[in-house]
Structure 1
Amino acid sequence: MISNRIMGLLALGFGLAFAAPAQATVVAQISLSQQRMDVMVDGVRAYSWPVSTARRGYVTPTGSYRPFRTEKMWRSRKYDMSPMPYSVFFRGGYAVHGTTYVRSLGRPASHGCVRLQTANAATLYALVQKKGMARSRIVITR
């Protein structure tokens, strides 16, 4: 039997502390070895795109990240104000973003960011905007 005090706390919303954390509904799974991104939406693979990650001498970090910032158009101060359309930042200055260097997609070519065709970056950006950063993940594996 639940006491009146517990019932009162539940009625005030304190029971939410025990609720399961929200599951990611947008997951961008990036394979460094395959140079490919699969995008899962609500647990179903919705997209699969070629990407470019870090070339020799640079690093794309592996791990699972929650995006912390999005920018429709960002310019890299570190790399000569290079355009980074539809950026989804996941760790420091690392982002998934669009590129005009589409001939390089499918092989390592970046300074560490994950590049993809600009239209595909716009799709991922819109999904993260719609579902929310708290419910999105960027997962990078070797």
Structure 2
Amino acid sequence: MRRSALLAAVFCLVLLVPCLAEAGIVAKVNISSQRMSVYVDGMPRYIWLVSTARPGYRTPTGTFRPTAVVRYHASTIYSGSPMPFSIFFLRGYAIHGSYETRYLGRPASHGCIRLHPANAAVLYSLVKQYGAGNTLIEISY
């Protein structure tokens, strides 16, 4: 009896682990559509307009984890431009709020992923709540 109970417990854990692996935040950025889809615990929650790199610049593609989460950052490269709710994912590249909201939905940045400041605040809060280790950023065409 003890052995069958142990086997049943192990079997339940094996079934539960894939669900735990999906827990967290996934931000999927589609460069072609200039949209970001945000999933929370595997469920779609938000779709937002973004601006990625304009011609002559590039937004990196791939899958990343946040390397730094900063409430307010001023660009050290572009004349101190405000970057509220920054989520850095590769060297100086970040997802961040932008006050240039009229450009959302089309390429306009130097490579970062720009969001409306209100949407950036929501994403920032989710990443802080779930943790950078439980957040994935997927960028593709």
Q: Normalising to structure 1: TM-score of the pair?
A: 0.84
CA distance in 1, matches of 2:23, 2:92: 22
Between the aligned partners of 2:21 and 2:43, the Cα distance in structure 1 is: 17
Task: Write the deviation string for residues 19-47 of structure 1: whole angstroms up to 9, x where unpaired.
Answer: 88944510000000000000000001100
Between the aligned partners of 2:54 and 2:23, the Cα distance in structure 1 is 29
> Match for residue 13 of structure 1?
none
User: What corresponds to 1:106 in structure 2?
Assistant: 105
Q: Which structure dedicates a bigger proportion of its chain to helix?
A: 2
1:128 aligns with 2:127: yes
Cα pair 1:37 1:49 within 8 Å, conserved: yes
- State the TM-score, normalizing by the size of structure 2: 0.85
Q: Give the equivalent residue in structure 2 for 1:63.
A: 62
Aligned length: 124
**Judging changes above 3 Å, is the alpha-carbon distance between structure 1 residues 24 and 80 closer, same or farther for their aligned structure 2 residues?**
farther
Seq. identity, %: 52
Equivalent pair of 2:52/2:108 in contact (CA under 8 Å): yes
Question: Residue 76 and residue 24 in structure 1: after superposition, are their counterparts in 2 closer, same or farther (change >3 A)?
Answer: farther
For residues 24 and 111 of structure 2, the distance between their equivalents in structure 1, rounded to whole angstroms, comes to 25
- Encode CA deviations 1:115-139: one digit per residue, 9 max, x unaligned: 0100000000000000000000110
| Superposed displacement of residue 97, structure 1 | 0.2
Q: Secondary structure at the match of 2:107?
A: coil
Q: Any conservation in 2 of the 1:24–1:134 contact (CA below 8 Å)?
A: no
Matching of residues 23-62 of structure 1 within 5 Å: 23=22, 25-62=24-61
RMSD: 1.4
**Contact between 1:36 and 1:48, CA under 8 Å: does it hold in 2?**
yes
Q: Determine if the alignment matches structure 1 residue 138 to structure 2 residue 117.
A: no
